[in-house]
Structure 1
Amino acid sequence: MALEEMRAILEGLLKRLASSLSGSDLGEVLDHLVWLTDDNGHDIFEVCREWLESGERRKVEAGLGLSEAFLYNDRETYERVLLPIAARWPDLAGQVQEKLDVFNRQFPNGSVPSPRRPS
């Protein structure tokens, strides 16, 4: 499946999400879908990165709701993308801070280590 197909599927799910639910509710579903796709969620992660930078509240909520992966490889990128979200929507600041805290605890040096090559 191409990225464009996954984007269309996820956009469709977001559009059909019950109005009483937030985008973060879709994020929980995406966590499950990651494990079911033939690319281990690669395209889902790419769409979520796009959504976090989209400026659209429900898309941003869905991207923040994903917890099964780190969408970025370094603290600088996380901060560049997430801090403006917290500034624009103060009620999402807690989720933003939690994402940053989890990343910082997992990677205190500020970046995801590169995979080691077998020797």
Structure 2
Amino acid sequence: MPDLLSILLLAIILVISLKVLDYARRVIMFWVSLAFRLVFWGSILGIAWYVYRVGVESAGRDLGWLWGVLEGFVEDFQARSSAATTGSGGTAGVGSGWGAAKKGKSGGYTRPWPWQLYA
């Protein structure tokens, strides 16, 4: 039978270790939360500065261009993944993607990359 002193000492060590682990968790969560807040507000300020710098109309065009690029990547990914699951070989996704002309739309949109505007 363990004596009462060793059980009490074990309980105290358990409580102290749980307190230390809780403190470490709170410190880590503080720094992770701070990093996410800095990235979020930095991106908001960066977007606001970009809109102020180029104007609302040009920023809207750039947003539309970026949306088209992302949509093309998603379509290409879906075409390649569906071709991979059906087992068809070759070049999956030819004719889809952000560089190809789509049905009902004129292809060849030649808007420069945003970082080339101020070069």
TM-score (norm 1): 0.23
The structure richer in helix per residue is: 2
TM-score (norm 2): 0.23
Determine which structure has more spread, i.e. the larger CA radius of gyration. 2
Which structure exhibits the higher relative contact order, with contacts defined as CA atoms closer than 8 Å and separated by 6 or more residues? 1
